[in-house]
Amino acid sequence: MTEIERILKEEIEKVNKAERRDNRPRFSISFIKKHPGLFVGMYLAYAATLAVMLQSETLADVTWVMTLLFLGLNLFFFFDVNPRYHYEDIDVLDLRVCFNGEWYNTRMVPDALVDSILQSPQVDDSRKQKLRAIMQKKSELSFYDIFAVGQNRSPV
């Protein structure tokens, strides 16, 4: 493991702990806060459907089963999952990108991480120069930029 890889892994672990990214579902009402109209509309539409079902002779028998199914499926909206970030996910395009997004391109690293790389005696000067060159072109560096320097690639 290179020094840059070690530093990146430590920073990713800090982010995971700070943001409680542990792949566990947690109860949350963020769906209601973000989409109150959709939430109310969903229940109004169900109330209308329920009224029709209660008036129908053929659907009256399954009304309560459908109500339980509706409420059970709505529990899905009350849970959020914060996926863990992994060093191994950087620059990998597979199904994890659908779930996590390309977090390594959109998340910027703190200045302290860049400073620790630049001050580390284990990082060779050519990589430090490459990192300084990227810093001059960009105001902030993403996890991918640091990863690319560690892998001796050119960041996009």
Q: Which residues pair with 142 in a beta bridge?
A: 108
Helices 143-150 and 3-18 pack at an angle, to 10 degrees, of: 160
pLDDT digit string, tens, across residues 32-76:
899 999 989 989 999 999 898 888 888 888 888 888 988 888 888
**Dihedral angle sign, alpha carbons of residues 53, 59, 63, 67:** negative
| Amino acid in position 42 | M
Q: What stretch of H or E contains 49? A: helix 36-55
Looking at every residue in the chain, the average pLDDT score rounds to: 87
The reported pTM is 0.72
User: Sorting pLDDT into bands at 50, 70 and 90, what band is 79?
Assistant: confident
Higher pLDDT, 97 or 142: 142
Higher pLDDT, 102 or 14: 14
Residue-range domain boundaries for the chain: 1-20+95-155, 23-81
- The size of the chain, in residues, is 156
pLDDT for 96 equals 63
| Mean pLDDT value of segment 90-119 | 82
pLDDT at 135 over 80: yes
